[in-house]
Amino acid sequence: MKKWGFLICIILIGYIVTQSTAALQQKEELPIVMLDTDDKYMGYREATTQEMEQQIHKGSLVLVNSEHPIHPEGVRSDIVYVADEEDLLLGYGLLDHKLMLSREVAERFQEMVEAAGEEGVRYFLMSSGYRDFEKQDELYRQKGSDYALPAGYSEHNLGLSLDIGSSLAPMSEAPEGAWLEKNAWKYGFILRYPKDKVNVTGIQYEPWHFRYVGMPHSAVMHKNQMVLEEYLEMLREKRDVSVDLNGITYDIHYYDVSKKDTKIYLPENDAYDISGDNMQGVIVTVEKST
């Protein structure tokens, strides 16, 4: 009896160690969000609110919905006809040879489908990308509000969003859809309209619609199960957060530019990106190697 008890103890200890190791590995693959320290602005210079006001309505984090339409400056400047870019056509099918998209987003998409292909998931289709306001208006008039949004209120008017399909099955059932829900964040993409966030986004579940927001924002949203509306609200509340991800520390600072006395800081030496929220603020994301 003692022998059996001893064996059971050994098995339990092995199980606990295995589970603890797996949990640790999982934790290391995801970002940790925390408040920044008091010395957060060391090595920064002060910028003017006038300089930042020009950034409010453009960038990878701008919010576009029924309350926040796109401003002309929000449309990406690197829009291309994807079919004309031979280096962007590997690993997926293109349903429309007139399809347009931000070149940067198309590059990230191709990276992503190539990674999926290495795991045996390789039947992707790109079915829709950038639409200008005229095309969006035509679609809205033809299909109605149940299918399309008015011109200026659709993310497709930005050049940062695309509809992704599978040649095997609808995205809600296809391996491609399942792979993207699990892995798209690693390449800067988010599933923009999840099934459990309809009350937040105001848009029904769209398993095909992905939006590029870039790293580390896609990672934070994925880890915390946030949609863009919730993520921007979190940044407005916390103001300063730090994210450690894959050996890089990202310091993310939110500034309310609508307040004229807001002090805004930009790093002097580190790489950084600026995006507006399309409301009243800008987000400065600083990248630091660790």
> What are the catalytic residues?
206
Closest by Cα among 218, 149, 143, 145 to 180: 218
CA dihedral 61, 108, 289, 47 (to 10 degrees): -30
Strand partners, 130: 100
**Which residues touch 283 (CB under 8 Å, ≥6 apart)?**
59, 61, 235, 252, 253, 254, 255, 274, 275, 276, 277
Q: Which residue has the tokens 């489908």?
A: 113
The sign of the dihedral angle between the CA atoms of 138, 144, 147, 150 is positive
The residues pairing with 253 across neighbouring beta strands, listed in sequence order, are: 240, 284
